[in-house]
Amino acid sequence: MNTYYLVRHGQTVWNTQGRTQGHGNSPLTELGKIQAINLAKYLKEYPIDLIYCSDLGRAVETAEIIGEELNLSINPTPALREMGFGEWEGMPIPKIKEKYPDLLHLWRNEPDKADMPGGETLHIVKEREDKLIEDLNEKYQDKHILLVSHSVTVRVMLLSFLESPLSNLYRIKQDNTALNIVEFREYGPVVIKMNDINHLESGAFLDINQIQSPLE
C-alpha cells in the first residue's frame, strides 16, 4: 500500500496580490522559495521514492527545489493542476465581486454547486484526482509518493480520501507548502497529517490568508 505526501506550492506573486490563479500562473516569491527549501529539508526525514507535480509553473518550481534536495527527478502532470477558474483567472477578489457577485456568493457558501464561466467544477477536479490516485496505486506498491499541487486540488483530494462532501471545502485549510500525509491501508486511506507547517520558521510564513481566497 502506498503512502502519499500532498503538498501545496510555495507562495506566489499572485498569492500576495490576492489574484485568482487557477490554470493561470505566477512565479514563486522569494518567500515562496524559502518555504520550498524549508519543506525540502523537512521532507528528508521521510522515505520519499517519487515526486509527481502539477505541470503549472509554481508547482514545478516548488517540486524542483524539493527534488534537488532529495536527489529525485520530478514528474509533471496536468492531473495535479489547480481547479480551472476560467474567466476569473488573473482577477483580484474585489473585481470578481463586482462582476460576478451571485456566483462568488455561491462559491463561498456552496462551492460544490459553483460553475465558473470557462472553468472547472469541484466535481471535475475530484474525478481527475481520484483517477490519478487509482492509476498510481495500480502502478506502484509500497511506495512513498510526493504530490506537489495546489490549494483547492489538495483539499479536494483530502475530502475524497475522507469520503466527505465537496461542500466541506472550506473546512480544510492549506497554507503554502503545507504537508499532508495519507497512508493507504487494506481498509482504505488514512489521513496521518494535515496542513503541517512546522517546517516554516519565523519569517518564512506569511498568513495574509489571501483575503480568505480559495482561488489558488
CATH number, span 3-84+121-200: 3.40.50.1240
Mean pLDDT on 41-59: 97
Binding site listing for substrate: 8-15, 58
SS (H, E, C) 109-159: HCHHHCCCCCCCCHHHHHHHHHHHHHHHHHHCCCCEEEEEECHHHHHHHHH
The angle formed by the CA atoms of residues 207, 200 and 20, to the nearest 5 degrees, is 40
Residue boundaries of the structural domains of the chain: 3-84+121-200
Whether 129 sits among the annotated catalytic residues: the reply is no
Question: Which pLDDT tens digit goes with each residue over 66-89?
Answer: 999 999 999 999 999 999 999 999
192 has pLDDT over 50? yes
Indicate the pLDDT class of residue 203, thresholds 50, 70 and 90. low
Q: Which of 9, 23, 150, 199 is labelled catalytic?
A: 9
Q: Which of 23, 61, 64, 82 is labelled catalytic?
A: 82
Supply the pTM of this predicted model: 0.93
Question: Which pLDDT tens digit goes with each residue over 118-154?
Answer: 999 999 999 999 999 999 999 999 999 999 999 999 9
Question: Which pLDDT tens digit goes with each residue over 3-18?
Answer: 999 999 999 999 999 9
The type of residue at 143 is: K
Binding site listing: 8-15, 58
CA distance 43 to 201: 15
Whether 82 sits among the annotated catalytic residues: the reply is yes
215 has pLDDT over 60? no
Residues 6 or more apart in contact with residue 186 via CB below 8 angstroms: 1
